[in-house]
Amino acid sequence: MKIKAYAKVNISLDVVGKREDGYHLLEMIMQSIDLYDEIRIEKRKSNITIKCNKQYVPTDERNLAYKAAKLFMEEYNINSGVEINIKKNIPVCAGLAGGSTDGAAVLKILNRIFDINASDEELMKLGLRLGADVPYCIKGGTALCKGVGEEVTELPSFKDKILVLVKPPFGVSTKGVYQEFNLDKVRSHPNTNVLINAIEENDLKLVCSNMKNLLENVTLKKHKILINIKEEMKGFGAVGAMMSGSGPTVFAFFDDMLKAQKCFEKMKNKYNDVFITRTI
């Protein structure tokens, strides 16, 4: 069985507190985009094996797809094996939930091929044990995510908006960014309610003028090139540009395909990982 595992961008990322165990409490608006990995799973007699088209992707227990399969099979007492094939298109360590979406896809496929019939809510609960973005990736679409990612509320669709994404040639550790983040130094937070209203009104300009990601301060300070990428994309007529997640990918919304195409072509001359896509 094969399904598409979609990437996400953060339309907003707010840090509203910190738990005693060190986890940050978040309030985020997440959006699926039409950039995806393809996950195919076949039943085997024993063992979990992973094959991937990209050599830099680990194919052992470090891979979230492997962890997802192991967790699911332990949870539901499944005594057989699986072969997981990953066709990787989403860049890794990019702030696009490339690992989380693969893990979510594995849970969804195993739920079907082993006839477990677990609800989305049950899969999301299981997914939270793998990572904060996994519950959202099970649902997808446009959503408000709170807590450490476990509270996922569906929002009105914000689909068919044109995006260009640029991932510079380095990765960023999410854990490292959160360790350096200092909530006490934050002077202004995203206005989540205004953003939700803008999404409900399907108002791209209003969404773009209110997009905010508190983790930008940490990652942009270390990697000044991201500031240049944002400004350059705005120079091509982007309605708004922002870093997704902990970075380093920068995405820009366009209201005109010709402008987006021009931006895509120019950025492609400078960077390998450049995509033109849409929200879904």
Q: Tell me which residues are annotated as active site.
A: 8, 133
| Helices marked H in the chain | 64-75, 98-113, 120-128, 134-139, 174-180, 192-200, 204-210, 216-222, 225-235, 257-268
Q: Is 93 part of any known ligand binding site? A: yes
156 in a labelled binding site: no
99 is in an annotated binding site: yes
Contacts of 142 (CB under 8 A, 6+ apart): 29, 30, 31, 32, 154, 155, 156, 157, 158, 159, 199, 279
Residue 119: Cβ within 10 Å count:
9
Q: How many Cα neighbours within 13 Å face the side chain of 106?
A: 31
Is 92 annotated as contributing to ligand binding?
A: yes
The Cα diameter of the chain in Å comes to 56
95 in a known ligand binding site: yes
Is 91 among the annotated ligand-binding positions?
yes
98 is in an annotated binding site: yes
137 is in an annotated binding site: no
* Annotated binding-site residue numbers for ATP: 91-101
* Annotated binding-site residue numbers: 91-101
